[in-house]
Amino acid sequence: MPSHSPMPRLSMLDLVTVRQGQSISAAIDTAVRTAQHVEQLGFVRYWMAEHHNMPGIASSATAVLIGHVAGQTARIRVGAGGIMLPNHAPLVVAEAFGTLQAIYPGRIDLGLGRAPGTDQPTMRALRRGRVESEEDFPREVQQLQQLLDDPRPGQALVATPGAGSHVPIWLLGSSLFSAQLAGQLGLPYAFASHFAPRLLHQALQLYRSTFRPSPALQRPYVMIGVPVVAAASDAQAEYLASSTYQRILGILTNQRGLMQPPVQGFMAQLDERARQAIRDFLAIGLIGGPQTVQQGLQALAAATQADEFMLVTDTFELDARLQSLDITAAAWAAAGAAASGGAV
């Protein structure tokens, strides 16, 4: 997993957001068109995240969507960021991702999280009496590794498909637990700083300090989630980002719903406590015009030494989203040229 630029490589995380007045089919089409667009921009991977019982997120059947997006693209890696392992038997995950790898060889990633990704009633419905918990996560990760590896002689449980597929496993986290586990198992690590940035630097330090080389990875490899809304000007980006602000406020107040159109001066309408809560959520977010985004990318690269940025870019209109990604990719290229001593 080399970095070919002085800047971290770029990838994208998509929640397959459902917008006000939009169908599920339209949300999925938006995801496909976005994936095709970032493939043309040279992004490394396009991940989707498992969530359940949330009206504004259509990525619950994550493996199904991965297959659909991979089938509508040609080169970009497509994967889960992530599958919430406590919700699933490792064998079922191995079979699903082994099948995807067989259809799209060398293009599938499997990111694993240890949270349920939903509320308690939905978690009970998903697990249907199974007793696995987050505390079982290390054991289940290692079981899944074995199921995706070459079968051992006499191995009783063999995933078919899955065995011998060697689908790359990533550990995801927003706390220190998965950082340490990823280091100990020698796996690549993705930190969810796009919604939980508080422990970012602590988690990266822990992962790197506990890392042990493994057959999967010889040296630490870090990806961080980065919220980005880029536009022609800082003011325009702030306006477009108000759709994201509304969604975050809904998350914080447990009033989740469909993504709403942008609202001029939205933050000014909130009390200081709400504004600060949104700012904390987006503490490493980059919202602005080309120069603002370029400076932000450079500062974040210097502060984290990340190998890869996984962008989270959602706007109400698809065209604004694609333009945001274009501006971000250009800012990233300019930052890389500056770091290399070339012309910006």
Q: Spell out the residues 6+ positions from residue 183 whose beta carbon is closer than 8 angstroms to its own.
A: 189, 206, 207, 208, 209, 210, 211, 212, 220
Dihedral sign of CA atoms 209, 215, 216, 221 in order: positive
Name residues whose C-beta falls within 8 Å of residue 235's C-beta, 6 or more positions apart in sequence. Answer: none
Band of pLDDT at residue 229, cut at 50, 70 and 90: very high
- Position 133 scores a pLDDT of 61
Strand ranges in 102-188 using DSSP code E only, listed in sequence order = 108-113, 169-173
% the chain with pLDDT above 70: 92
Please state, rounded to an integer, the average pLDDT across all residues of the chain: 93
Domain spans of the chain, in order of start: 9-227+300-342
- Domain 9-227+300-342 class in CATH: alpha beta
Averaged pLDDT, 269-278:
96
Q: Could you tell me which of 32, 12, 82 has the C-alpha nearest to residue 227?
A: 12
**Percentage, residues of the chain above pLDDT 90:** 87
pLDDT score recorded for residue 340: 80
Helix axes 24-41, 318-339, angle to 10 degrees: 20
Give the model confidence (pLDDT) of 65-95 as tens digits. Answer: 999 999 999 999 999 999 999 889 999 999 9
Task: Please say if the pLDDT value at position 116 is more than 70.
Answer: no
Q: What is the pLDDT of residue 132?
A: 59
Specify the pLDDT at position 342.
Answer: 56
What is the distance between the alpha carbons of residues 219 and 182, in angstroms, rounded to a whole number? Answer: 12
Write the pLDDT tens digit of every residue in 3-50.
445 799 999 999 999 999 999 999 999 999 999 999 999 999 999 999
- Residue bearing the bigger pLDDT, 135 or 43: 43
Res 338: pLDDT: 87
Q: What's the mean pLDDT in 122-150?
A: 80
pLDDT bucket at 343, cuts 50 / 70 / 90 = very low
Say if CB 15 and CB 57 are below 8 A apart: yes
pLDDT at 141 over 90: yes
pLDDT of residue 128: 54
* pLDDT of 256 above 80: yes
pLDDT at 5: 54
> Is residue 118 very low, low, confident or very high in pLDDT (cuts 50, 70, 90)?
low
Look at 1-5, 53-57, 81-85, 128-132 and tell me which has the smallest mean pLDDT.
Answer: 1-5
Q: What is the dihedral of CA 135, 171, 14, 121, to 10 degrees?
A: -10
- pLDDT tens digit string along 192-223? 999 989 999 999 999 999 999 999 999 999 99
The per-residue pLDDT for 119 is 63
Confidence class for position 1, pLDDT limits 50, 70, 90: low
Residue 61, amino acid: A
